[in-house]
Amino acid sequence: MCSAQSDPGWSADGGSTPAPRTGSWWSGRLDPRAPNAFSLLRFLAATLVVIGHTFPILGLPERGVLGDSFGAIAVDVFFVMSGFLITSAWERRTSLWQYARNRILRIVPGYAGVAAATVLVIGPAVTVFPLADYFRSEATWLYLRNATFTVMRFDLPGVFLANPLPVVVNGSLWTLPIEAAMYVAVAVLGAARLLHRRRLVLVLAGLAAVEILAQDFLVAHDVTLLGIMPVASVVDFGIYFALGALAWLWRDVLVLRADVAAGLLLTTWALPPSTLQRVFFMAAIPYATPFAARCPWTWATRFGQRRDLSYGLYLYAFPLQQCVVLVGGRDMPFALHLTLSWLLALGCAALSWRFIEQPALALKRRTARTRDRVAPVAARG
């Protein structure tokens, strides 16, 4: 699972005033100036991740739909949205530095916050080791390096050892380095002038070829990138990211229709598990996601404008779900565990937004305003 955490909306990096929607929700093209429901979709995807993780955390078999688990579907949706929004941000950048700064300020502070909260609050509260041993352990402080994208640690000393899903402190974090890698890929492709409609199709074709020809080998041999990113997952998520990017690049000609989106989803659901079902799935999710983002309902387009809790919900839910099962036991009713975990994670997400993410985004906006004031002075010499 991933967090496709771009800035809320198409104009978050300084776009134009929202314009009237072109066409009805049932059929129309993407308009970057129109209100959108991406913030709501991110929140729903994060909630779907919480639902998906509840099964293994309670020791239950995973459930899903459309031939995949709930969590995996949510992550694919995240990467489609990320491809769409990050490609948009690249095209609207004023410099490579601005693009890099905006991406760092959106993903790193929240990540560092949950790593610190996990090590300094959750770990000491639930570890079975003496606190002196916990804090002396090298593994405790190595966990903090997760936020630097140089390591990927899932364990803390003495934490969640007896849970139905033992040892794993936060199983949501592994997708974040892949998300960051996609940010870098956009910059590299953009600088190489490959972030173009037809050229990106060739990149997508290359990823699809690797998916078809080498996926089994990559999974069997656990091939990783930089020692922290499974290459099989990088390729898989890269396909969804590229499809989202293509949706942005072809936005002026891509017509999103309700009957097409419904037809793709229903066909995927009706097919038995097979390569054909996977092909329909890989068409349905990238098509249905931007279609849903065109939702014209006012409450949907305004959702998350003041506070975007989706990233925090994604980051904090897993360790809190582990805490709830530690206290309540593996026999907790599914609905009770899900509700308590979701509410606790939502509270932590609100704190993360108020004290970490929102100040970081405000810093980005202050930097942009400073640049705008300095530029005319520099132009005058």
Mean pLDDT by 10 residues, the chain (381 residues): 44 43 71 87 98 97 93 97 95 92 96 98 97 97 95 96 97 96 94 84 83 81 88 94 93 92 96 92 96 91 93 98 96 96 98 96 72 47 42
Beta strands 68-69 and 64-65 are: antiparallel
Long-range contacts from 266-272, C-beta under 8 angstroms, 24+ separation:
268/66, 268/67, 269/65, 269/66, 271/67
Residue 22 domain flag: no
Residue 18 domain flag: no
Residue 250 domain flag: yes
Closest C-alpha to 95, from 379, 375, 324:
375
DSSP track, 1-31: -------SSTTTTT-PPP-PPSSBTTEEE--
Q: With H, G, I as helix, E, B as strand and everything else as coil, classify residue 69.
A: strand
For residue 149, the one-letter residue type is F
For residue 249, the one-letter residue type is L
Residue 303 domain flag: yes
pLDDT in tens, 333-353: 999 999 999 999 999 999 999
Residue 226 domain flag: yes
Q: With H, G, I as helix, E, B as strand and everything else as coil, classify residue 137.
A: coil
The pLDDT, as a whole number, for residue 200 is 85
Residue 16 domain flag: no
DSSP state letter for 121? I
Write out the two tokens for 48: 């779907």
The pLDDT, as a whole number, for residue 6 is 43
Asked if 150 contacts 108 with a C-beta cutoff of 8 angstroms, the reply is no
Residues forming beta bridges with residue 229, ordered by sequence position: 225
Q: Which helix (H) or strand (E) holds 224?
A: strand 224-225
Beta strands 224-225 and 229-230 are: antiparallel
Distance CA 53, CA 39 (A): 21
- Helix spans in 58-196 (H): 70-91, 96-117, 123-126, 131-136, 138-143, 175-191
Q: Within 10 A of 264 (CB to CB), how many other CB atoms are there?
A: 20
The pLDDT, as a whole number, for residue 8 is 40
pLDDT in tens, 111-147: 999 999 999 999 999 999 999 999 999 999 999 999 9
Cα dihedral 5, 11, 12, 15 sign? positive
Range of the domain at 227: 34-372
Residue 329 domain flag: yes
Residue 24 domain flag: no
Asked if 245 contacts 84 with a C-beta cutoff of 8 angstroms, the reply is yes
Q: With H, G, I as helix, E, B as strand and everything else as coil, classify residue 282.
A: helix
Distance CA 49, CA 177 (A): 17
User: Count of domains in the chain?
Assistant: 1
